[in-house]
Structure 1
Amino acid sequence: MTDLGKLGFGTWAMGGPFWDGAQAAGWGPSDDAESVKALRRGFDLGVRLFDTADVYGCGHAETLVGQAFADVRDQVVIATKWGNTFDAASRQMTGSDASVPYLRRAVEASLRRLGTDWIDVQQLHLGGLPVELAEPLREACEELVAEGKIRSYGWSTDDAERAAFFGAGEHCTVVQAELNVLVDNPEIRALDLDVLCRGPLAMGLLARESFDGQLGDDDVRGKVPAWMRFFRDGRPVPEFVAARESVRDVLTSGGRTLAQGALAWLWARSPRLVPIPGVRTVAQAEENAGALAFGPLSADELEQVESVLRG
Structure 2
Amino acid sequence: MPDEFRHRRLGRSGLVTGPLGVGTWAIGGPFFSGPGCRYPLGAPLGYGKADDRASIQALRRAAELGVTLFDTADAYGTGHGERVLGEALKEVRNHVVISTKFGNTYDENRRELTGTDASPHYIRRACHASLKRLQTEWIDLYHLHIGDLTLDQAATVADTLDALCKEGLIRHYGWSTDDPLRAAAFADRPTATAVQFDMNLFEDAPEILEICETNHFAGIVRLPLAMGFLTGKYSPSSHLPQDDIRSKPPSWLRYFKEGGSAAKDWYAALDGVREILTAKGRTLAQGALAWIWARSACTVPIPGIRTVAQAEENAGATEFGPLSRDQMAEIAELLHNPSQAHRT
The corresponding residue for 2:244 is 219
Matches within 5 A, 1:279-298: 279-298=305-324
Q: Is the 8 A contact 1:23 1:225 kept in 2?
A: no
Letter in 1 for 2:241: G
Match of 2:77 among 47, 57, 63: 57
* Aligned residues between the structures: 311
Distance 1:258 1:227 in 2: 23
Is the counterpart of residue 130 in structure 1 residue 156 in structure 2? no
Q: Which runs of 4+ in 1 moved over 6 A?
A: none
Identity of aligned residues (%): 50
Matches within 5 A, 1:1-311: 1=13, 2-20=15-33, 21-191=41-211, 192=215, 193-211=217-235, 212-233=237-258, 234-310=260-336
CA RMSD of superposed structures (Å): 1.2
Shift of residue 227, structure 1, vs aligned partner: 2.5
TM (norm. structure 1) is 0.97
- Superposed CA deviations along residues 207-258 of structure 1, whole A, max 9, x for unmatched, are 1333443222200001122332221212222222122112111110000000
Q: Is the 8 A contact 1:167 1:174 kept in 2?
A: no
**Structure 2 unaligned blocks of 5 or more:** 1-12, 34-40, 338-344
Q: Is the 8 A contact 2:200 2:223 kept in 1?
A: yes
TM (norm. structure 2) is 0.88
CA pair 190-310 structure 1, distance change in 2 beyond 3 A = farther
**Structure 1 unaligned blocks of 5 or more:** none
Q: Is the 8 A contact 2:18 2:66 kept in 1?
A: no
Look up the SS of the partner of 1:203 in the other structure. coil
Distance 1:34 1:209 in 2: 19
Distance 1:159 1:139 in 2: 21
Shift of residue 85, structure 1, vs aligned partner: 0.5
